[in-house]
Amino acid sequence: MAGPNRHPVLTVIFSVILVLLLIAGGYVAYVFIDYHRIDDKIVLDVEKNYKYSDEIKPAAKAGETYSIVTWNMGFGAYSDDYSFFMDGGKYSRAFSKEAAISNIKAMTDKLSELDPDFMFIQEVDTNSTRSYHVDQRAQIMGEFPQYVSAFAKNYDSAYLFYPFLSPHGKSVSGILTESKYNITNALRRRLPIETGVTKLVDLDRCYSVSRVPVEGGKTLCLYNFHLSAYTTDGTIATEQLKMIVDDMKKEFEAGNYVIAGGDFNKDILGNSEEIFGVPSGNATWAQPIPAGVIPEWLTVVACSNAPSCRNADRPYDETDFVVTVDGFLVSSNVEVEFAEVKDLGFKNSDHNPVEMHFKLK
C-alpha cells in the first residue's frame, strides 16, 4: 500500500511547469497553424463617395503639375514620446484608443493642409489589438470623401502574446492609396518574404498598383508599398524592391507613366548618418539600396532637407538616430519639379511625410 505523498510542494511545482509547457506548446502550434499568406493578384475595391462624385476628375493630363504625399502613419501609436518594443523600446500598443485616434486625426489634418492630388499611406490598421481595433482606414477615408480610395491589406497576423504584460496581439493592417483622379482599377501584389521563423515577426508584405487614366490613352500607374523591416538583413527588402521595379518596367515599356512611393525601410540617401550628423549606434536596419537595383530609366527621389524616419528605441530627441527611408521612384517620362520631407518633428508618427510635385511629360 502506497504511503502518503511526501513531496506535495514538488508535485505542485511539477504540475505548474507541465501546465505552462502545455500552454506554451499550444500557443506555438496555434501560431504556426494560423500562419498564412494573403493571396497574390487580388483585385482591390475602388471606393468613391458618390456625394462627391462630381469632384472626381476623370483623367490626368500631360504637362500639368500634380502633387503626391507618402506617409507611414505608424498605426497612430508613434507620438514623439513613444518607443516600440521591436525597436528596443518599451511599448507594444498605442498609449490608448484615444491617443491613436488623435494621432491619426492630426496627420489627416496635415494632409488636408497639403491638399495633394494623390496620397500613399502606410501602416493603416483596420482591426488590430495594438490600435484598440479602431478602423483607421474608415477614419482616414472619412476625412477625404472627395478622393477615390484603394486599400490593400498588407498583413493579417496571428495573436502575438508578447510582451507578456501587454501583448502586441493580432495585427490587421494595410496600405491606402487616395486620388483626386479616377482610379479605373487597382491590384494587390504579394511580395517575397523570408522563409524562416523571422516570417512570423515581419509578417506578410505587398504592394498595390492603382491605375489613373491620362488624356490621350496612357495610364498613370501608382505603386504604393511598405517593404520589410524586421529581417535578418536587408536582402529581402532588396528582393521586394526588385519585384516592384520589374513590374514598373512592364508599364513603362508599354508607354505609361510610373510612380512608386512609400516606406523603403532602406536608407535611400545612402548616407543618412553622415548627412544628419547622428550616429546610428546599433540601428543597422536601414541599409542603402545596393548598386544595380535601380535601372537608368528610374530615379530615386530621396530628400535630404530633413529625415523622414526616427529610430523608435526611445522617445524622440535630437540625439536619436534618424534616416530617410520614405520617398519615391519615378520613370523618366515623369518630371520632378519639387520634393521635400515635411519636418514635423515626429510629433504624431515615427515618420515625417514626403511631398513631391511632378509633371507627366
CATH number at residue 122: 3.60.10.10
Start-to-end C-alpha separation, the chain: 95
Map the chain to HEC letters.
CCCCCCCHHHHHHHHHHHHHHHHHHHHHHHHHHHCCCCCCCEECCEECCHHHHHHCECCECCCCEEEEEEEECHHHCCCCCCCEHHHCCCECCCCCHHHHHHHHHHHHHHHHHHCCCEEEEEEEECCCHHHCCCCHHHHHHHHCCCCEEEEEEEEECCCECCCCCCCCECCEEEEEEEECECCCEEEEEECCCCCCCCHHHHCCCEEEEEEEEECCCEEEEEEEEECCCCCCCCHHHHHHHHHHHHHHHHHHHCCCEEEEEEECCCECCCCHHHHHCCCCCCCCCCCECCCCCCCCCEEEECCCCCCCEECCCCCCCCCCCEECCEEEEEECCEEEEEEEECCCCCCCCCECCEEEEEEEC
16 is in which domain, residue-wise? Answer: 1-34
Are 38 and 207 spatial neighbours (Cβ–Cβ below 8 Å)?
Answer: no
Task: Answer yes or no: do 209 and 337 share one domain.
Answer: yes
117 half-sphere exposure, CB direction, 13 A CA radius? 20
Residues 51 and 30 in one domain: no
Predicted TM-score (pTM) of the model is 0.92
Q: Is the separation of the CB atoms in 73 and 139 below 8 Å? A: no
Q: Which three cell numbers stand for residue 317?
A: 530627441
Give me the residue label for grid cell 500500500.
1
Is there a single domain that holds both residue 17 and residue 56?
Answer: no
Strand pairing partners for 155?
173
Q: Identify whether residues 19 and 59 lie together within a single domain.
A: no
* 77 and 156, same domain (yes or no): yes
- The domain tally of the chain equals 2
The answer on 211 and 105 residing in a single domain is yes
Q: Are residues 73 and 3 in the same domain?
A: no
Query: Quick one: 65 and 165 in the same domain?
Result: yes
Same domain for 171 and 266, yes or no, is yes
Same domain, residue pair 14 and 134: no
Say if residue 250 is in the same domain as residue 286.
Answer: yes
pLDDT digit string (tens) for the chain, length 361 residues:
455 555 777 777 777 787 777 766 775 665 666 667 889 999 999 999 888 888 999 999 999 999 999 999 999 999 999 999 989 999 999 999 999 999 999 999 999 999 999 999 999 999 999 999 999 999 999 999 999 999 999 999 888 888 988 999 899 999 999 999 999 999 999 999 877 666 555 578 999 999 999 999 999 999 999 998 876 566 888 999 999 999 999 999 999 999 999 999 999 999 999 999 988 777 777 889 999 999 999 999 999 999 999 999 999 998 999 999 999 999 999 999 999 999 999 999 999 999 999 999 9
- Sequence length of the chain is 361
Does 323 share its domain with 249? yes
